[in-house]
Amino acid sequence: MNILIHPTYFPSISHYIAMIKADSVTFEMEDNFQKQTNRNRMYIYSPNGVQLLNVPVKHAVEKHQKYKDVRIENDFGWQKNHFKSLEAAYRTSPFFEYFEDDFRPLFEKKHEFLMDLNLEVFQLVNDSLGINIQPKETTEFFHEVSDYTDFRHLVNGKKDPSVFEKYPEIDEIKTQLYTAGATFALMSGSGSSVFGIFEKEVDLPELEKGNLVFYDV
């Protein structure tokens, strides 16, 4: 499967599922910028719930501006705020300290163009995950495409609902794992399983009633 997809600011799980399953990935580089999309924002799970992190951009004089030509507004110190938000949300998560030094320099730079930032984010996340995706790039924009499976709609966060909204049972399993004493719980990349990390041996009889539970894996 050859897919067409947008580069975004910290791609969502849906983005990565589509890209990992694809035979080849092509980034849409010739479309017009649209507000309120994941081109310049991402969502994280903060201590107070879902939090939106938005990259401010400069408003163009012309009505339509290509995504690749959009400039970042760097006068607000958004980089520092984004990194502090990530620290507050994930400082106690396993491996945060392991990746911290890799991600910190990203938020110390002042990228001029949004596209350059997103492409660097994409490569950094890939390196951290240990995956190799070498996307091609479009040279012309088409509303309808026949040579690709079109995943460009995933850039619109409003049409890309959280996995937990679509499958609330996954969130419930995570909650039960934390209630049982897990120090960390996460959905697998395929979404077919949820794992938990415990400091001590544990029994999960309630989860065993409706799920396959494996210990010491």
Per-residue model confidence as pLDDT tens digits over 98-118: 999 999 999 999 999 999 999
Q: Mean pLDDT of all residues in the chain?
A: 87
- pLDDT attached to residue 93: 86
Q: How is 151-203 classified by DSSP, letter by letter? A: -GGGG-GGGS--HHHH-HHHHHHHHHHHHTT-SEEEE-TTSS-EEEE-SS---
Calculate mean pLDDT across residues 162-169.
64
- pLDDT attached to residue 25: 97
C-alpha to C-alpha distances, 98 to 91, 92, 95, nearest whole angstrom: 11, 12, 5
Q: Which one of 14-18, 163-167, 179-183 scores highest in mean pLDDT?
A: 14-18
pLDDT at 161 over 80: no
Which amino acid belongs to residue 209?
Answer: K
Contacts for 124 with CB less than 8 Å, ≥ 6 apart: 102, 103, 106
pTM strictly above 0.95: no
When mean pLDDT is compared across 96-105, 142-151, 198-207, the lowest value belongs to 198-207
